[in-house]
């Protein structure tokens, strides 16, 4: 006797998985917990029928589980956007039981807000790129601590710009400071040097990993794109052809203006609160360079300046238009034709 087709919702936790199995009419056939192990999830779900599709909220570790289910059992597994799923839920209570049921039901009716399941090599590149970004953020924090220590002692060097070689040499030979603060300053300097070396090591590693990546090499050919921008776009966007339009890509990057209109009031409310913050920051930095040095984007920035637009709005507009242009540059030749 053939098994009935079923839909599976998985509420992910580090130690356990809540598994809900639902038939095509919405009847709950099973909703129970098992260990966080693909084989146990498969055995539990397939007791009730043939799995048509399964869904799991995107979170840390979910992509690895989804990939294991695809490879081991041949399931079709979708990652769900946790924010949209939470807003679609009409119950203020939150339990693993109800969350798994919600995911199964959304998958059954075809309303699941899906997130792209990046392949393993892209997820690995993301880890490298985000590790480098963590180092850069840590370096920034150490610099802030050094500047705070100098301000606390009312010490400054007006003859050199901060963080230039001349300024760092002055910092290393600074003695007009208390004994304990001198010790702290020296520890900060050592940490700063160590982080700088680690950043270089991380960048060498990323360059090695991406040296044969066609998308990264293609991005590097675009004006205004350096290695860090190319690595970040590849890691966070992955594939450009998974978007239907440049406008959709721009919205994914958090560069689209948010509409705040109501009735007769028509207004914008800044950029949408979406997307990866690091990706958006890298694109905004690229827009600063483009607005200053590239003729096409400099002309756009100048037109907006003459129209009285604030500098922040100009840079965001350049980033928005540029990433939409990049979308078309990165399409396969057959799609462009």
pLDDT tens digits for range 112-160 = 999 888 999 999 999 999 999 999 999 999 999 999 999 999 998 888 8
Indicate whether 134 and 174 sit together in one domain: yes
pLDDT at 267 over 70: no
Six-digit token string for 171: 């910092």
Domain end, chosen from 99, 115, 131, is at 115
Residue 266 predicted with pLDDT over 70? no
Average pLDDT, stretch 160-185? 91
Cα distances from 43 to residues 34, 61, 68, 92, in angstroms, run 10, 20, 14, 32
Residues 180 and 249 in one domain: no
- Contact by Cβ (8 Å): 298, 287: no
Sorted by sequence, the CB contacts under 8 Å of residue 252 that are 6+ apart come out as 237, 243, 274, 275
Give me the mean pLDDT over the 215-233 stretch.
95
pLDDT at 334: 52
Count of domains forming the chain: 3
- Poorest-pLDDT segment among 38-52, 142-156, 250-264, 275-289: 250-264
Measured CA to CA, the distance from residue 323 to residue 325 in angstroms comes to: 5
Expressed as residue numbers, the domain containing 172 is 120-211
Domain boundary among 93, 115, 137: 115
Residues 277, 259: Cα–Cα separation, whole Å: 20
Residues 301 and 244 in one domain: yes
CB-based contact 81:111 (threshold 8 Å)? no
165 with 231, same domain?
no
Select from 150, 185, 211 the last residue of a domain. 211
Same-domain pairing of 142 and 190: yes
**Are residues 282 and 319 located together in one domain of the fold?**
yes
pTM of the complete model: 0.86
Whether residues 258 and 279 fall in one domain: yes
Residues 244 and 186 in one domain: no
For residue 225, give the DSSP letter.
-
């Amino acid at each position: 006797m053939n098994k009935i087709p079923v839909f599976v919702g998985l509420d992910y936790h580090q130690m356990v998985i809540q598994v809900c199995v639902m038939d095509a009419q919405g009847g709950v056939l099973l909703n129970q917990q098992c260990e966080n192990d693909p084989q146990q999830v498969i055995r539990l779900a397939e007791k009730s029928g043939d799995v048509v599709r399964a869904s799991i909220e995107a979170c840390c570790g979910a992509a690895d589980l989804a990939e294991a289910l695809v490879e081991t059992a041949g399931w079709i597994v979708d990652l769900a956007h946790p924010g949209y799923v939470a807003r679609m839920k009409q119950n203020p209570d939150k339990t693993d039981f109800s969350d798994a049921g919600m995911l199964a039901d959304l998958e059954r009716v075809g309303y699941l807000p899906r997130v792209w399941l990046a392949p393993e090599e892209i997820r690995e590149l993301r880890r490298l790129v985000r590790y480098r970004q963590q180092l850069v953020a840590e370096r920034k924090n150490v610099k802030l601590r050094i500047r705070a220590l100098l301000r606390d002692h009312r010490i400054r060097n007006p003859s050199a710009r901060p963080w230039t070689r001349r300024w760092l040499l002055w910092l290393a030979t600074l003695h007009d400071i208390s004994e304990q603060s001198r010790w702290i300053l020296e520890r900060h300097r050592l940490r700063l040097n160590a982080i700088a070396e680690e950043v270089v090591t991380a960048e060498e590693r990323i360059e090695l990993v991406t040296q044969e990546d066609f998308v990264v090499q293609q991005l590097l050919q675009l004006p205004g794109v350096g290695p860090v921008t190319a690595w970040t776009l590849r890691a966070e966007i992955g594939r450009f052809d998974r978007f239907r339009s440049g406008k959709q890509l721009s919205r994914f990057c958090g560069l689209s203006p948010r509409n705040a209109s109501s009735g007769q009031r028509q207004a914008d409310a800044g950029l949408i609160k979406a997307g990866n913050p690091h990706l958006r920051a890298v694109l905004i930095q690229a827009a600063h360079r483009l607005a200053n040095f590239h003729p096409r984007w400099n002309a756009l920035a100048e037109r907006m300046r003459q129209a009285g637009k604030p500098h922040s709005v100009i840079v965001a507009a350049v980033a928005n238009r540029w990433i939409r242009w990049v979308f078309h540059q990165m399409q396969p030749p057959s799609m462009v034709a």
